[in-house]
């Protein structure tokens, strides 16, 4: 769930609200009680994983090498 930033047009009060994307935007200022809130545009903090193998940099085990012991041997003879 994203965090939205709001600002009151009457009193200038700014705050953040953790809301579902399905929730309606807030309209009543919690500071002055006026119905003058506007939701501000944010930069967002989404993460997008694209392409094959994005996980290769995220694990100790090297991609493309079989799992085994430290010297590269898997114990099979």
Looking up residue 35, the CATH number of its domain turns out to be 2.20.28
The pTM score is: 0.54
The count of domains in the chain is 1
Q: Please report, for residues 18, 64, 67, the alpha-carbon distance to residue 73 in angstroms, rounded to integers and kept in the order given.
A: 50, 15, 9
Q: Provide φ and ψ at 7, rounded to 5°.
A: -140, 135
Mind listing the pLDDT tens digit for each residue in 10-26?
A: 999 999 998 888 999 99
Per-residue pLDDT of the chain (77 residues; tens, 9 = 90+): 788 999 999 999 999 998 888 999 999 999 999 999 999 976 665 666 666 655 555 555 555 555 555 555 555 55
Please provide the DSSP assignment of 35-65 as one string.
Answer: S-EEEEP---------STTGGGGSSSSPTTS
Average pLDDT in the chain: 76
Domain of 12, in residue numbers? 1-40
């Amino acid at each position: 769930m994203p965090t939205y930033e709001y600002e009151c047009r009457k009193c200038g009060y700014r705050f953040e609200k953790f809301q579902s994307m399905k929730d309606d935007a807030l309209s009543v200022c919690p500071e002055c009680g006026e119905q003058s809130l506007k939701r501000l545009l944010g930069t967002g903090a989404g993460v997008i994983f694209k392409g094959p193998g994005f996980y290769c940099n995220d694990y100790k085990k090297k991609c493309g090498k079989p799992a085994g012991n430290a010297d590269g041997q898997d114990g099979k003879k």
